[in-house]
Amino acid sequence: MGKIQIMDEWLSNKIAAGEVVERPSSVVKELVENAIDAGSTSIEVFLEEAGLSSIQVIDNGSGMDEEDALKSFSRHATSKIEKEQDLFRIRTLGFRGEALASIASVSKLTLRTSDGDGGVHLYLEGGHLKEHQPTALRRGTDITVAQLFFNTPARLKYLKTIQTELGHTIDFINRIALGYPTIAIKLVHNDQTLLQTNGRGQVQQVLSAIYGAHHAKKMLPFEASNNDYKIHGFASLPEVTRASKNYMSLFVNGRWVKHFVIQKAIINAYHTYLPIERFPIVLLYVEGDPQLTDVNVHPAKHQVRLSKEPELLKLIEDTIRLAIREEIRIPLAEKKEKPIRPQQEQMNIWNPSKASAPVFDENKLTTIVERLSGDSSVVKEPHTPISIGNQHSVQYADVHNEVPETELPAVPIESKPIQDEQPFVQPEVKRHFPDVEVVGQIHGTYIVAQMEDGFYLIDQHAAQERIKYEYYRDKVGEVNANERQTLLMPLTFHYAADEALRLKESKEALEEVGVYLEEFGLSSFVVREYPTWFPKGEEQEVIEELIEQVLKVRKTDIKKLREDAAIMMSCKKSIKANHYLNKEQMDRLINDLRKADNPFTCPHGRPVLIHFTSYEVEKMFKRVM
């Protein structure tokens, strides 16, 4: 007798459930996606104990008649695919026909549904039909899943805490609400409403409901298209960041998916705008011909394969980067509502009555600094004296004059109000670098510059880093043979045999950033010349670091290598903290910063300057209410 047998239907459904139903949020996902495919305009989700006790999903979709309701619990029963060709033109969220059969096999499931003509009530335990009777019901479907995994106790052991499991469901419902703003969605847990949207199609309202109105104000709309794809959505300003990539939501033809390459393109669009290990909030919709998308990749349908992916990635990166550049602003120390006042007095910290070197009203400035250090985002440093005029004079030209004063356009900054009946409006933002007057220096680290409405604290290291980065970025991008300096004594570098082989393969890439290696024996190299614009006194260290960057990766990306080279060189001899400048040196730094393409963040994404309004300072001193 043969050993091969046909598996029992209920056993095969349990096995399939292991792939489709991982946790309560998986059940919610399948049921909500079915409701969307049914054309629902209202979906309500009710959970008890994060769904471990009960999950109920109610919709007003097309519903089912009695025959379809019974068929729906058979494996591979679907209304969305009829022939093979349909698999390559999928426009629905579901298509496998496995979800209901899998869910029913590991739970106690109650279904009440109607197509508008007649309703049916079904009750199943472990996939076995126990009750079947007609019922009166409005058009739509009401499905309840109770005691999930009651017949597979091993699965229960691997579920997390109620809060963790609830978090997975909230995350999914939030994304569905963002992906389908025209559907009114409600999520209730233990009789507490966690999310409710109105279904009016206003994405900004949904963003506000999920992330709060304060952050929704700082979401920039974007839109673009090429011959194959259309993209649109919202991206947060660089000042709004998260510690996780999980806040980047991607929808491809209405389907929420995880696509790490697209995530990387989004992060690349924020290059030099974000602090290290911080990520933006982004909502991205990608629309294209379904034949360009393969959704039949994973049982949970979280992954897709995209045709013409390089073109799409470039479109996404360029579009989001442009949106950021047009709207970038200087971060405020603290957001406060400012009342209408007759005239704003200029902060008179500087006492111009002194004819000699500039002198401060030191008591007034010290008081402001102490208050701001406690109540704002100013970084605290060990106590050091305040630099006044020329009291701490240094040779600023050594660390600054290497950057030529080339004319660079200012970054245009203009806010775009959110349209329609939104409860918030984008704040107006200045289009140019502020017209400031240098006042002095704090802790040898921050430059104080005043203007008509308040003052700015400017991080001198970040400011010069931005200036030098833009200088080196252009230089590295076009290495000129006329800008090379020949060494009297060549530099010699020794590496292991495998590293030497890697460097021989990457010689052309290194030459793109100004490193000219000549083979000198089996595992050694010499450098006889380097660009004249390499940081003075740091040439050998720069070359070693560029070589190390090549050795750290398997495949050299010339574009990234250029960027890394520019960032690394800009940091080498930029002014450090606790470095005192005189007023002429500070003025020169601010003037050069004003010419920068992006004067508001350093290459690592940190802010260069922070604005404190006069009203905010007066509020701290209780001079205004």
Beta strand 184-189 pairing with 42-48: parallel
Asked if residue 336 has pLDDT above 70, the reply is no
End-to-end CA distance of the chain: 92
User: Per residue in 540-560, pLDDT tens?
Assistant: 888 888 888 888 776 777 778
Specify the residue for token string 């043969």.
2
The pLDDT, as a whole number, for residue 199 is 93
Looking at CATH, the fold of the domain delimited by 218-327 is given as Ribosomal Protein S5; domain 2 (3.30.230)
- pLDDT > 80? residue 132: yes
Domain boundaries, the chain: 9-193, 218-327, 350-470+576-620, 481-572
Whether the per-residue pLDDT at 203 is higher than 70: the answer is yes
DSSP 387: B
From start to end of 548-622, where are the E strands? Answer: 609-612
Q: What is the pLDDT of residues 12-51, one digit of tens each?
A: 554 544 456 889 999 999 999 999 999 999 999 999 999 9
User: According to the per-residue pLDDT averaged within each range, which of 95-99, 128-132, 355-359, 372-376 is highest?
Assistant: 128-132
pLDDT at 398: 35
The set of residues, in sequence order, having a beta carbon less than 8 Å from that of 342 and lying 6+ positions away, is: none
For residue 596, give Cα distances in angstroms to 415, 428, 469, 534: 20, 22, 10, 20
The Cα–Cα gap between 613 and 617 comes to: 7
Query: Given this model, what pLDDT does residue 96 score?
Result: 57
Selection from 360, 355, 128, 326 nearest residue 221 by Cα: 326
Cα 243 to Cα 16, 269, 295, distances in angstroms: 35, 17, 29
pLDDT band at 433; cut points 50, 70, 90: confident
According to CATH, the topology of domain 9-193 is Heat Shock Protein 90 (3.30.565)
In this predicted structure, the answer to whether residue 206 has a pLDDT above a threshold of 70 is yes
- Please check the confidence at residue 354 and state whether its pLDDT lies above 80: no
pLDDT at res. 76: 65
Tell me the pLDDT tens digit for each residue of 223-266.
999 999 999 999 999 888 888 888 899 999 888 888 899 999 99
pLDDT for res 319: 95
For position 84, what pLDDT does the model report? 52
What pLDDT is attached to residue 44?
97
Higher pLDDT pick, 253 / 423: 253
pLDDT, tens digit (0-9, with 9 covering 90-100), for 83-122? 555 555 566 675 556 788 889 989 999 999 999 888 899 9
Q: Mapping DSSP to helix (H, G, I), strand (E, B) and coil, where does residue 578 land?
A: coil
Number of C-beta neighbours around residue 319 at 10 A:
20
Residue 90: predicted pLDDT: 62
pLDDT at 407: 34
- Could you tell me the maximum CA-CA distance found in the chain, to the nearest angstrom? 111
- Please report the DSSP string for 438-460 in residue order: EEEEETTTEEEEE-SS-EEEEEH
Alpha helices in 135-272 (DSSP H): 153-157, 162-179, 203-211, 213-216, 260-269
User: Could you tell me whether strands 119-125 and 192-196 are parallel, antiparallel, or unpaired per DSSP bridges?
Assistant: unpaired
**Beta strands at 437-442 and 446-450: parallel, antiparallel or unpaired:** antiparallel
Q: Distance from CA of residue 268 to its chain's centroid?
A: 10
Query: What fold, for 350-470+576-620?
Result: formyl-coa transferase, domain 3 (3.30.1540)
Record the pTM.
0.60
pLDDT score at 151: 86
**Measuring CA to CA, which residue among 621, 610, 614 is closest to residue 338?**
614
**Confidence at residue 20, expressed as pLDDT on a 0 to 100 scale:** 66
Query: So what's the pLDDT on residue 121?
Result: 95
Q: Which fold has domain 481-572?
A: Ribosomal Protein S8; Chain: A, domain 1 (3.30.1370)
